[in-house]
Amino acid sequence: MAQNHAPNNEHLSSPEAPATARGAKTPMTTAERLTVADAERMETNRYEMLEVVEGYLSEPFKKSVREKIRREKERLLAFVSYEKQVQDAAKRIVRVLNPAYFVHKPLDKTMFE
């Protein structure tokens, strides 16, 4: 018996795809970048939410949730550190390479006369 399958119109983007391909219109501004304070605020919010439901959870489960919160903050801080390293490297490159070197100037035709 033949089955009718509707075409799958769902398109998933690759996590490795650049942000512009996933729908971002412009690069992130400094205000939109993740900071250490953001990571700490997220951790505090997670612990506050855990406290609300703590009485309903078993001790092993609470322990695993606390560990998950700790690992999440660790990853966020690693990401913040990586972004800062990339920004610092970009600043060093800008100082090393003179942008005027890459400017193409038209040739002066009288130079060969």
47 within domain boundaries:
yes
Q: Is the pLDDT of residue 58 over 90?
A: yes
Give the pLDDT of residue 55. 93
| Full domain range(s) for residue 61 | 31-97
56 within domain boundaries:
yes
H helices present in 11-58, as ranges: 36-53
106 within domain boundaries:
no
2 within domain boundaries:
no
81 within domain boundaries:
yes
Q: How many Å apart are CA 13 and CA 16, to the nearest integer?
A: 8
What does the pLDDT look like over 27-40, one tens digit per residue?
556 667 788 899 99
112 within domain boundaries:
no
102 within domain boundaries:
no
pTM for this entry: 0.53
Give the pLDDT of residue 21. 46
Residue 53 or residue 90, greater confidence: 53
User: Domains in the chain: how many in total?
Assistant: 1
**Which range among 1-15, 34-48, 76-90 shows the weakest confidence by mean pLDDT?**
1-15
Residue 30 or residue 101, greater confidence: 101
Number of residues in the chain:
113
Helix (H, G, I), strand (E, B) or coil at 1: coil
What does the pLDDT look like over 8-22, one tens digit per residue?
444 444 444 444 444
Helix (H) or strand (E) holding 92: helix 59-96
